[in-house]
Structure 1
Amino acid sequence: MRSGPWDITPGELIEYAAAQEWAPETRRGRRNTLLSFYRWGIALGLTDTNPAVALPRVRVTTPPARPIGPTAYEDAMTKADERTRLILRLAYEAGLRRAEIAVIHSDDIIEDLDGWSLLVHGKGRKQRLVPLTRRLALELRSHGHGYVFPGAIDGHLSPRRVGELAAAVLPEPWTLHTLRHAFATRAYRLDSDVFTVQDLLGHSSPATTRRYVQTDRSRLRSTVDRLTAV
């Protein structure tokens, strides 16, 4: 009689994985987790084999960047109430994730010699300073002491609720995250500095940042035109 994960065969693991309706990114993550789990088991002497090596590798295609256009953004701003407009602006003008927006506190708004900045609490408890425009800093400071978006979850709105508020005014297929794509694309087109955009978005790798930046089609055309003129 089976007693646990150490008795699972490679065939059974493949059958289990094949039955799951996982997105490619999720499937790759689960495969890596299983590989690591069984390596840990081997290191502790709990098993001699790693059945996860039989799982096929998952190739994940990188979807193109999807920055929202200015007209759709302006339409959403027109429909939004004051709270939701600020949420949209924080994604579009500062490149923040919904989870980062949810936890903004008045103590995170900092002034230095260069102006106002926001201490952003990002993924993996990583923090970064994002410069704020004077208008955006003034809007955040006007909410007084405490969380800018108060709510029932630890005193602030949940990331899910932040996303729902944005989705209620954004036309399909746009989401709050596409405003972050728009921020990245517009920032990169200023001086083509991927490392600056990487720091602003809080990415650990410029390869991740690249997925947020939409290629400027006019530059592609200009490059081809110049090549043919040589």
Structure 2
Amino acid sequence: MSSRDSLTASALAADFTEHLTLAERRSPHTVRAYDATVRRFLDFLQQHLGGAVDGERLQALALADFRAYLAFRRGSGLSNRSAAREVAVLRAFFRWCRRARNIRCDAIDALASPRIQRRVPRPIAPNEAAVLGQAGTDAHWTEKRDAAVLLTLYGAGLRIAEALSLKPGDLGRETLRVTGKRGKVREVPLLAAVAEGIDAYRSACPHDLAAEEPLFRGARGGPLSAGIVRTAMRQARAALGLPESATPHALRHSFASHLLARGADLRTIQELLGHSSLSSTQIYTEVDAAHLLDVYRNAHPRA
């Protein structure tokens, strides 16, 4: 048996995770999700095949084995969208196995991904987004922090992870330096309202905000968690009577949709969002069309 075939499943999963982290520079959230999916698949195979899994057994997998895994996951209530995500992860894992460990499994190429209906993001209104970023002068510093984070998500079109990775040194006079997926850096305009919200938070924050430390801090001074941001959004959503679709990520969608509605071109929006391909940005043309259809249905006498 070759050294390739003797590689254990656990070692392969660990090496793949290391590759995602170091070589592809994926976000910690993505790495955790990929690692969990691969290990879940390998644990299933151990039960399904009745023994330890190594490179030789991975290479010998048949299409029926992959379908058995998806059926197993379906039994746990997996949706089409989540199943498609797991298929994408497995394809990435076996591509890496082929390239890095010479483990070739042709069956994965024949595995069809479940069809999913593409969801069009529903932006919130500009006035609602503006209210989210407001905090009174007498507000507690954590309230000013929450308002500043939400305002930054909307005003700069950031992902939560991008906002939480900001450092004071990333703030320029008119631009914001953002580190996106895979460590890609981009510059986005720093709107006056966003700068004012951040300044109000920084003035009230009791912790030392060094230039190369996280800008947004938790109550005890450590990095702010994404969970706190989501909680702040839920509270603001309840106070304003916004729908469940009004999530922190919806603020990023709103940023792009509002730019498009005001005449910005897709290439500009692509650069601002940090999308690697224009196809990722083109979904916002559907958002704008959906908004126009809503207006038509609500206002046209023959609708």
Q: When the two structures are superposed, what TM-score results if normalisation uses the length of structure 1? A: 0.77
Change in CA separation of 1:58 and 1:154 when aligned onto 2, cut-off 3 Å = farther
Structure 2 residue aligned with 1:227: none
Q: When the two structures are superposed, what TM-score results if normalisation uses the length of structure 2? A: 0.60
Structure 2 residue aligned with 1:106: 168
Secondary structure of the 2:275 match is coil
More deviation in 86-95 or 159-168? Answer: 159-168
Structure 2 residue aligned with 1:85: 147
Matched-pair contact (CA < 8 Å) for 1:98–1:176: yes
**Higher RCO by CA contacts (8 Å cutoff, separation 6 or greater):** 1
Q: Structure 2 matches for 1:6-17, cutoff 5 A?
A: 6=58, 7-17=60-70
Give distance in 2, aligned partners of 1:41 and 1:78: 50
Q: Which has the higher strand share?
A: 1
Structure 1 residue aligned with 2:230: 163
Matched-pair contact (CA < 8 Å) for 2:260–2:288: no
Secondary structure of the 2:243 match is coil
Q: Structure 2 matches for 1:173-188, cutoff 5 A?
A: 173=244, 174-188=246-260
Matched-pair contact (CA < 8 Å) for 2:233–2:248: yes
Structure 2 residue aligned with 1:125: 183
Shift in Å, 1:210: 2.2
Shift in Å, 1:183: 0.8
User: Pairwise CA RMSD of aligned residues?
Assistant: 3.1
Change in CA separation of 1:207 and 1:87 when aligned onto 2, cut-off 3 Å = same
Matched-pair contact (CA < 8 Å) for 2:164–2:226: yes
Change in CA separation of 1:139 and 1:124 when aligned onto 2, cut-off 3 Å = same
Q: Which amino acid aligns with 2:66?
A: L
Secondary structure of the 1:215 match is helix
State yes or no: 1:215 paired with 2:282. no
Q: Which runs of 5+ in 1 are unaligned?
A: 222-230
Q: Which amino acid aligns with 1:193?
A: D
Secondary structure of the 1:63 match is coil
Shift in Å, 1:17: 0.9
Q: Which amino acid aligns with 2:260?
A: Y
Change in CA separation of 1:99 and 1:153 when aligned onto 2, cut-off 3 Å = farther
Change in CA separation of 1:110 and 1:74 when aligned onto 2, cut-off 3 Å = closer
Secondary structure of the 2:215 match is coil
Matched-pair contact (CA < 8 Å) for 1:128–1:202: yes
Structure 2 residue aligned with 1:51: 107
Structure 2 residue aligned with 1:202: 274
Deviations 1:163-187 (A, max 9, x none): 2222221133111111111111111
Shift in Å, 1:79: 8.1
Q: Structure 2 matches for 1:13-92, cutoff 5 A?
A: 13-20=66-73, 21-38=77-94, 44=101, 46=103, 49-70=105-126, 72-73=128-129, 76=132, 81-92=143-154
More deviation in 83-92 or 5-14? Answer: 5-14
Matched-pair contact (CA < 8 Å) for 1:42–1:50: no
Q: Which amino acid aligns with 1:108?
A: D
Secondary structure of the 2:186 match is strand
- Corresponding pairs, count: 215
Secondary structure of the 1:118 match is strand
Shift in Å, 1:192: 3.9
Deviations 1:45-70 (A, max 9, x none): 556x4232342233333211210124
Fraction of identical pairs, as percent: 27
Q: Which amino acid aligns with 1:124?
A: R
